Amino acid sequence: MLGKLMKHEWHAVWKIPTLFIGVLLIVSLLTGSCFAFPMWESDWIGLPLSIVSLFMLYYMAIIVCSVGITVYLAVRFYKSMFTDEGYLTHTLPATSHQILLSKVFTMCIWNLLSILGVAVSIFLLVGSVTVFWADNFSQIGMEFRRLFHEVAESGMLNEVVRTMFTGVFMVIVSSFTGTMTVVGSICIGQMLRKHRILGAIGAYFGIMTVTQIVGTMVMFPMMFQMTFYSSFEEMFSSYLTMYWILTVICFGIGVGLYFLSEYLIRRQLDLE
């Protein structure tokens, strides 16, 4: 039954997030293509402002894509769980755990795809700019190749690989925790029968505040200790340790919010 729920949820939500990511990729290509115009070779006084405007447009496209997908998934979750549509959802021959897991899994996947879409759009933007300004970027490419060889010869390649692995794992965990922050906020907010949306917004900022406080309490002592390190290797290792600790805490918060949400859906459900 869980597989059927996931399949149904995926088919129900894929169109809008795909549209957001598609528009972002198109904007990145258009932004990069603008650098093919011959005006960039001129001495026009408005060139700096034009460059800033182009990148601001692209930055706004990233914000709209990321926030738009999150808001859409949040609204979809709320409507399918706590409004009239929820009556159909909760009459399915499935447990509250299966229903919640199917929605959380789909939301996590789309959050990861959103992050991947942003990364691909940055690659397209940088790639298109590099193609149009190949002569100007040739020296930069040589510098990157020289830097890579220096890192490989210095024996720091393992540290770089560890950092990349840590970063990928943190992205996956933060996607899960971000999803559960939204889901948990909505589940807590629905307990306020007459002010569900305001309750969800308040719960969201409350959870974010607690998360930030916990993160700061972990980071501050460790960063203070790093000031006494004399070698780069010690500082690098401490940074990785700190990030792993934060990742574990982040994951723990997400798991806690999951079980809290499942309990509220199972025991405190009150549809509109």
User: Stretch 13-37: mean pLDDT, rounded?
Assistant: 86
Q: How far apart are CA 252 and CA 242, in angstroms?
A: 15
Assess whether pLDDT exceeds 80 at residue 47.
no
Query: For the segment 7-23, what is each residue's pLDDT rounded down to a tens digit?
Result: 888 988 999 999 999 99
Q: Is the pTM of this model over 0.85?
A: no
Give yes or no for a contact between 240 and 166, defined as CB atoms under 8 angstroms apart: yes
pLDDT on residue 6:
87
Whose tokens are 């393992």? That residue is 158
Assess whether pLDDT exceeds 60 at residue 37.
yes
Query: For the segment 119-171, what is each residue's pLDDT rounded down to a tens digit?
Result: 999 888 887 777 665 555 555 556 556 666 665 565 566 666 777 788 888 88
∠ CA 120-77-262, rounded to 5°: 115
Instruction: Give the least confident one: 143-157, 200-214, 220-234.
Output: 143-157
Q: How far apart are CA 144 and CA 90, in angstroms?
A: 55
pLDDT on residue 188:
92
Helices (H), ranges, the chain: 2-13, 15-33, 47-82, 84-89, 96-132, 134-153, 157-189, 196-226, 232-267
Instruction: Give me the long-range contacts of 164-167 (CB less than 8 A, separation at least 24).
Output: 166/240, 166/243, 166/244, 166/247
Assess whether pLDDT exceeds 90 at residue 68.
yes
Select the more confidently predicted residue: 232 or 59.
59
Q: How far apart are CA 10 and CA 4, in angstroms?
A: 10
